[in-house]
Amino acid sequence: MSELWEVLSEHFPELSSGFWVTVRIVAISFVIAMAVGTAVASLRIAPLKPLNWIGGVYVELFRNTPLLVLLFISFAGLRRAGVPIDAWVAGTASLGLYTAAYVAEALRSGVFAVGRGQIDASLSLGLDYPRTMRYVILPQAFRTVIPHLGSLTIAMIKNSAIIGVSLLALPDLLHQARLVNSRTFATNETFFWAAVGYLILTLLATFAVRRLEARYAIHR
């Protein structure tokens, strides 16, 4: 039992720096995922077939590519092609764009829940399509899918661990845990604390989602 606390106290600097790096990665990826996801969802439900098609291609591409493969392509692949992308950009962009595909699909289902009726009514009242989306449909769609977006955020927090142990080697929580493990060989104890770190983040996300749900969610 004392080994457990020993690992934490002796290696707290490494583990906590890893924790904060994970927080940064997740924060940046979250912003990318929400922004791009909303944009792609709009494309998917637009009344123009070409836009639908572009959105569709994006979703299929990023949903069906494993995150690790995406990381390799965005980092090693692009660099070999001459693009001097760095590990932070490649990592957060990959995680963000990957999650965005799922966010887009979630929002799309939210829009369907709002109903065609409202789109038609808004258009017939004289609002153009972008304004209809912005002021009428999307706000409702977001509020309908808050729980779903919460799940996607939790999944994204856990997926962030892949970045640290891939070629990109960002010093996130899991990377630092493996570092500490390689020095102490106290595998169980070290990864216990790493799990605790991720749990803190996912529980925070869960509580945030619950608060948002209580205030804003529309239950259909």
Partner 1 sequence: MTRTSLWRALLVMALAVAALAVAGCGDDDDDGGGDGGGEQAAEVRQFPADTTMGKIQNRGEITIGVKYDVPPFGFKNPQTNEVEGFDVDMGRIIARELGVRPRFVEAISDNRIPFLQQGEVDLILSTMTINQERDREIEFSQPYYIARGRILVPQDSDIKGIEDLAGQRVCTALGSTYEETLREEAPDAELRLVDTYSECLELLQNGAIDAISTDDVILTGMIIQDDTLKMVGDELTTEPYGAGIKEGDKQFQSFVSDTLERAQRDGRWEDLYQEWVGQYIDKQENPPTMTLKQALALG
CB of 77 to partner 1, least distance (A): 9
Question: Which among 31-39, 105-113, 163-171, 210-218 is the span making contact with partner 1, rule CB under 8 A?
Answer: 163-171
Question: Which among 46-54, 62-70, 140-148, 177-185 is the span making contact with partner 1, rule CB under 8 A?
Answer: 177-185
Non-local CB neighbours of 220 within 8 Å, separated by 6+ positions = 113, 144
CB of 145 to partner 1, least distance (A): 31
Nearer to partner 1, 4 or 87 (CB): 87
Non-local CB neighbours of 62 within 8 Å, separated by 6+ positions = 70, 97, 98, 100, 101
Cα–Cα separations (whole angstroms), residue 100 to 29, 63, 89, 136: 9, 9, 16, 22
6 binds partner 1 (CB under 8 A): no
Cα–Cα separations (whole angstroms), residue 28 to 24, 25, 86, 200: 6, 5, 15, 18
158 binds partner 1 (CB under 8 A): no
CB of 168 to partner 1, least distance (A): 9
Torsion, Cα 185 186 187 188, to 10 degrees, reads 170
Residues 53-112 that bind partner 1 (CB under 8 A): 75-76, 79-80, 84, 86-87
For the chain, the helix, strand and coil percentages under 3-state DSSP, each to the nearest 5: 85, 0, 15
169 binds partner 1 (CB under 8 A): yes
Phi first, then psi, for residue 65 (nearest 5°) are -100, 125
Question: Which among 9-17, 24-32, 143-151, 182-190 is the span making contact with partner 1, rule CB under 8 A?
Answer: 182-190
Q: Nearest to residue 30, comparing CAs of 105, 128, 96, 113? A: 96
CB of 189 to partner 1, least distance (A): 13
How many residues sit in the footprint of partner 1 (CB under 8 A)? 18
Nearer to partner 1, 42 or 190 (CB): 190
11 binds partner 1 (CB under 8 A): no
Q: Helix, strand, or coil here: 115?
A: coil
185 binds partner 1 (CB under 8 A): yes
198 binds partner 1 (CB under 8 A): no
Show the tokens assigned to 42: 């709009």
Q: Could you identify the residue written with the tokens 């779903």?
A: 148
Write out the residues near partner 1 by the rule CB under 8 A: 75-76, 79-80, 84, 86-87, 165, 167, 169, 175, 178-179, 181-183, 185, 187
